[in-house]
Amino acid sequence: MKIGFLGLGTMGTPMALRLLAAGHELSVWNRTEERTKPLIHEGAIAAATPAEAELGADAVITMLLDDAAYEEVFFGVHRLIDFISPGVLHILCGAISVPLCERLTVEHANRGIDLVAAPVFGLPSDAAEGRLWINAAGADKAVARARPLLEAFAQRITVAGKQPQHAFATKIAADVSPSP
């Protein structure tokens, strides 16, 4: 499958490497261009912009840092929301707020783009070894489309609901819960 992968930080890089190892074709972009080099060495194609990474992709996976990064990429300077083609699957793995996820859900629905929220639980070493836990949410059809891609870096995928923001509400609750 052809995938645009945006966000090559400490979690995104091993996730993208797992997708390459699984035989997917990746076009990668990162705000810090230097971060694309390990992926290019493994066969990924470097994209100059987020829109270029999406061009012709079946799916876009984002592992951006936070709300500010998502705002910049989707609604700010890069305006990716205007370039994603209808029918493309967007798998949103980076941790964002519920209100931003709600906004993205509406914007995606208005443009005919499938959105699956899929925040990750685990460490970079878990990503590298395919042992992340994914808490996914979205329409059944979209989650089914996302599952084979998520399985490249996750050993466990749970479904939190049909609305993407459900995944982030659960992620936030888990992150702030006291440890046993």
Active site residues: 171
Q: Which residues pair with 157 in a beta bridge?
A: 134
Neighbour count for residue 145 (Cβ, 10 Å) = 18
The whole-angstrom separation of Cα 112 and Cα 133 is: 28
**Distance in angstroms (rounded) separating the CA atoms of residues 51 and 1:** 18
What six digits make up the tokens of 24? Answer: 């997917």
What phi, psi does 82 have (nearest 5°)?
-85, -10
Contacts of 11 (CB under 8 A, 6+ apart): 63, 93, 120, 124, 127
